[in-house]
Structure 1
């Protein structure tokens, strides 16, 4: 086998070989010199290496310090522009609600100018280079530039278009609504919602946990501004989507408007006093006919329309056999069905929806119309509407015929004022919102799309069917005196619960207090129409009905601290419910306390924060909720 050829000697090896051949004794010395030379050279190399590293580090530190200072300055400038921009959001919102398009446009333009400045200061080659480094700290730079970009989009896609919104289209004029203007408004608001949602998506993609507090605060500030706009725009979009058709854009609609009188309490608010059938066609509004509740049969042997077994078990079929009791259930769709049934006993009209309002809700609307002069010589104002319609009218018009004429004049005069063109849009929106929140304004529609839109909102007059958004306790009253004495009644409601801290099934204690405020002396001077024909003047009979949160059950109840027999204890609307009756003498108070517990196996995680739904009364009903651990 041939041995492999060795590699040729190196230049160093050849030089060493020549030296050894010339002077063999020099071999050791040359090796020593060579080693010393190599050591010295390696030392010099290490020194230059460390010098080079030091220079690089110093240069890097200098460049890094300059870059860091530059980026910090840019970030601070961006923050300043964004902070300067934010107040203009509130200015634009206020101007839009005040129907001031010029003011809204100016505020939007001012916001956009600051947003563009912020976008400019959060960009550049250095910023883009560092922002692109895939390290968590750089998320702060990405967040700052994202917020700046979102601010510009907010200006272009939301605030600038929103400045063109005018709520004057929501106010009728000359007896009609401009459905074409409403459709344009609907399209505009829908685009605004799309803009807020797109901006929200961009902010949501940021890694909140990687942000320093200052940057996180800035992100949340812009997010809060988006939430504020969305809180107005989303409900407006949903309503405007169906409003043109609801106002007869695709064909005539007829709505039965029911006026509830809180002086005779019912679970839904008050007994129906009068009805008006309203026709709407392509935005034009007109009254078809009206009827007082007294025009319907006083009592009928069978329900006017079928009611479900649970409703009958809790309230008896009296809610469907007496027109005055059709609002005796807190479920407004049931009341609407009963109202349509009663209307059909006198008239063959198509009813596409039912609207209910009480005098307190009406008084809110008078802030938008101003005082209304009645044919009777009375002047209806936001201050006197409730006392006049619920109490004083029965002194001035004690005869039933005269009182019916008075309330008819009120209905016609209010309709004329609401549709005549002098309504102030902003106060009207505020009035409708307040009346809805308090359960004084309710709407049922036969249209499935509109029913889906209403859902379980306050306007729908339905109790929530789950505990997902709120764990609602229900407290309702029905007058059993057959009088108008509830003008003198006040109530309070208190709920204590461990539902946010309980490890096992949570508990609730609901305490309801009802007070008869009239004195015996005052009661003796009241008209018979107010005191009623069945009780000693001044006495007030009332049913208390209390509902648990969905799925919970009632364990016990007391009246004034003592056990008390219930008229009914059953399930209704997916809840356990109890009903008792109390008769209060003048200036007496009754306290009804109900203890409740969640279903077996339930925990605090199954319940959203607690709330109370209750009968809207003449005066405010104070509600207190003691729920440790709940937000």
Structure 2
């Protein structure tokens, strides 16, 4: 017995020493990898294709760390109370980092140069072949990345020593932007070839939206254009203004009863109102139907962008000369397209002509390939992150990909389990005063496994930054001239906050008072708080909504809203 007990103790000590020594070696490899990753990030920002050799070196460290923490003795030690969860977390983290570097990063970096080259248009054509070749690698990388995220979220941090728990939390947080980026690459290679005419001609309707008159999913259509793509060759085949569309005598499509009860038939009667609806796929279907009725062509897809996104794109193309003789640049695009054009031109036809010229010349600059690819990609990425780009496709396979992204413009995102609040704004002034509208969203709460109340408070402030004399100093086309019962210079808005399912509204106040604080309603199976503020120049008002979380395991919420000229928001807030 004594010999047996002694042998058992010896085995435990040897195993402990074995695991301890390998843990120390693995820790050293991970520290080397961390140092290398920091340098790699800096190089990647300058030139993604330049890091191929660096990522191979980084992979050697992560591979050794994963190998050191995955042998049978280590795995057996994971059943030991207290030590086991820490060893398991160490192994999962090392293995996850190795997967990110070698199974996700390395294959994508091998293709990044070809992908960037394909996006640099030559004679109006996007080279589709590199995108098609990259599909398999990017789809596999995306699958691997999802597994890593799931594995890291599966670690029970409350059972870990503080130092390891902090490290796991830090790494898990860093995975979020990486996961978003990998998913974006996968989506791009899945979507672009087909939408750019691989296998046949494709028509896409472009909506250039103006946030100076806000609508739920962005702004009022200011100019429209038809884009044709065939085997990667892109052409702008037709342009139109809102003046080219009639007020239809009957709705072009029948809206659901709850949508009609809230928005009426306006979105299906006026092209200017197609973006009033709460989900962009509805906008897309209405827009292509109206275009087909007017011009006899039914586009297969719709893309919408705002002037802020165009300003980002102009950082890649550089300034563009307009027919008026002036220069459109990243510095002046927003002011010029959202405000100055209305000060300068009283006739809507002249305004539309200006928008058409600007959009056509931006398209020409992009289609000619005369831009910096990295800056162009960053411009689109930034615009999408700020909800300033929307996309819809009538092709079901394409739309299923879009549905998993923020480009979809829907109240729920197919790939995200994080509850999402969506604040949507619709102009009630009947003019272009939303250029002066600023907003700020603040979310506070006590969520998570150790919370006592499981409540969250949303505070949303809207401000009118117009000059005090706006009612007399600005043209009537901008102020509305009081035509809709709104004092010139004031901003009237219909604001609706769509809450996630399982969030119960407890109270609703405006500036600390429950009187005239709006109403609550149900729309598209969502709880909606509605508020109709009218703000005089210089005035701000704040609505406060308190919710109780009725569903388990909510550790974060997501915030989305109608993008204005200037939003002070945080898209993802964790407590």
Q: TM-score range by the shorter chain?
A: 0.7 to 0.9
1:421 aligns with 2:369: yes
1:377-418, Cα deviation, whole Å (9 max, x unpaired)? 221222211101011122233333322221111011110122
Deviates more, 1:615-624 or 1:169-178: 615-624
Could you tell which deviates more after superposition, 426-435 or 189-198? 189-198
> Cα deviations across residues 516-545 of structure 1 (Å, max 9, x unaligned)?
222342431212322234155323332232
- Following superposition, the deviation at residue 471 of structure 1 comes to 3.1
1:258 aligned to 207, 221, 230, which one?
207
Cα 1:233–1:90 change in 2 (3 A) is farther
> Contact conserved, 2:403 with 2:413, CA < 8 A, in 1?
no
Corresponding residue for residue 336 of structure 2: 388
Deviation at 1:495? 4.7
CA contact (8 A) 1:552 1:575 kept: no
Quick one: structure 1 residues 108 and 459, their matched pair in 2 at CA, closer, same or farther if it must change by over 3 Å? same
> Deviation at 1:64?
10
Match of 1:541 among 470, 484, 492: 492
Moved more, 388-397 or 409-418: 388-397
> 1:367 and 2:308 equivalent?
no
Q: Which of 548, 561, 566 pairs up with 1:614?
A: 561
CA contact (8 A) 2:153 2:172 kept: no
Q: Is the contact made by 1:332 and 1:460 (CA closer than 8 Å) also made in structure 2?
A: yes
Unmatched segments (≥5 aa) in structure 1: 1-49
1:32 is matched with none
SS in 1 for 2:294: coil
Moved more, 288-297 or 110-119: 110-119
- Name the SS of the counterpart of 2:110 in structure 1: coil
Write the mapping of 1:540-579 to structure 2, written as runs, cut at 5 A: 540-550=491-501, 557=508, 561=513, 563-564=515-516, 570-579=521-530
User: Which one of the candidate residues 539, 550, 561 is aligned to 1:603?
Assistant: 550
Change (3 A) 1:276 1:499: same
The whole-number CA distance in structure 2 between the counterparts of 1:272 and 1:515 is 24
**CA 1:316–1:555: 2 relative to 1, 3 Å:** farther
Task: Tell me if structure 2 keeps the 8 A contact 1:505–1:603.
Answer: no
Q: Distance in 1 between matches of 2:262 and 2:443?
A: 22
Alignment partner, residue 397 of structure 1: 345
Map of 1:315 onto structure 2: 263
The aligned residue for residue 124 of structure 2 is 175
Determine the structure 1 residue equivalent to 2:231: 282
Distance 1:142 1:480 in 2: 57
Q: Any conservation in 2 of the 1:495–1:624 contact (CA below 8 Å)?
A: no
Q: Partners of 2:52 and 2:568 in 1: how far apart?
A: 42
Q: 1:178 to 1:524 in 2, by over 3 A?
A: same
* 1:270 equivalenced with 2:226 (yes/no): no
1:305 to 253, 278, 282: 253
User: Is there any run of 5+ residues in structure 2 with no aligned partner, and where?
Assistant: none
Q: Deviation string for 1:122-160 (max 9, x for gaps)?
A: 59xxx9896697785697999989988887776654454
- 1:451 matched to 2:388? The reply is no
- Return the alpha-carbon distance in structure 2 between the equivalents of residues 343 and 261 of structure 1: 19
User: Which residue of structure 1 lines up, in the alignment, with residue 409 of structure 2?
Assistant: 461
**For residues 480-502 of structure 1, what are the alpha-carbon distances to aligned partners after superposition, in whole Å with 9 as ceiling and x for unaligned?**
22211111222334455566689
Structure 1 contact 494–624 (Cα < 8 Å) conserved: no
Residue of structure 2 in register with 1:482 after alignment? 430
Aligned match of 1:21:
none
Separation in 2, partners of 1:92, 1:148 = 18
Retained in 2: the 8 A contact 1:200–1:223? yes
SS of structure 2 residue aligned to 1:165: helix
Distance 1:315 1:190, change over 3 A: closer
1:490 alignment partner, SS class? strand
Q: Secondary structure at the match of 1:233?
A: helix
How far apart are the structure 2 equivalents of 1:392 and 1:544?
A: 26
Distance in 2 between residues matched to 1:175 and 1:495, nearest whole Å:
45
CA pair 269-65 structure 1, distance change in 2 beyond 3 A: closer
- Normalised by the length of structure 1, the TM-score is 0.75
The alpha-carbon deviation at position 68 of structure 1 amounts to 7.8
Q: How far apart, CA to CA, are the structure 1 residues paired with 2:410 and 2:30? A: 43
Q: Decide whether aligned partners of structure 1 residues 411 and 238 sit closer, same or farther in structure 2, where only a CA change above 3 A counts.
A: closer
CA gap 1:301/1:209 in 2 versus in 1, 3 angstroms:
closer
- Is 1:163 aligned with 2:109? yes
Number of residues paired by the alignment?
Answer: 562
Q: TM-score with structure 2 length normalisation?
A: 0.82
Instruction: State the SS of the aligned residue for 1:473.
Output: strand
Structure with the greater alpha carbon radius of gyration: 1
After superposition, where does 1:141-156 map in structure 2 within 5 Å? none
Which 10-residue stretch deviates more, 502-511 or 581-590?
502-511
Instruction: For residue 165 of structure 1, report the CA deviation from its aligned partner.
Output: 2.4
Question: Could you say what secondary structure the match of 2:250 adopts?
Answer: coil
* 406 and 529 in structure 1: CA distance in 2 versus 1, 3 angstrom threshold: same
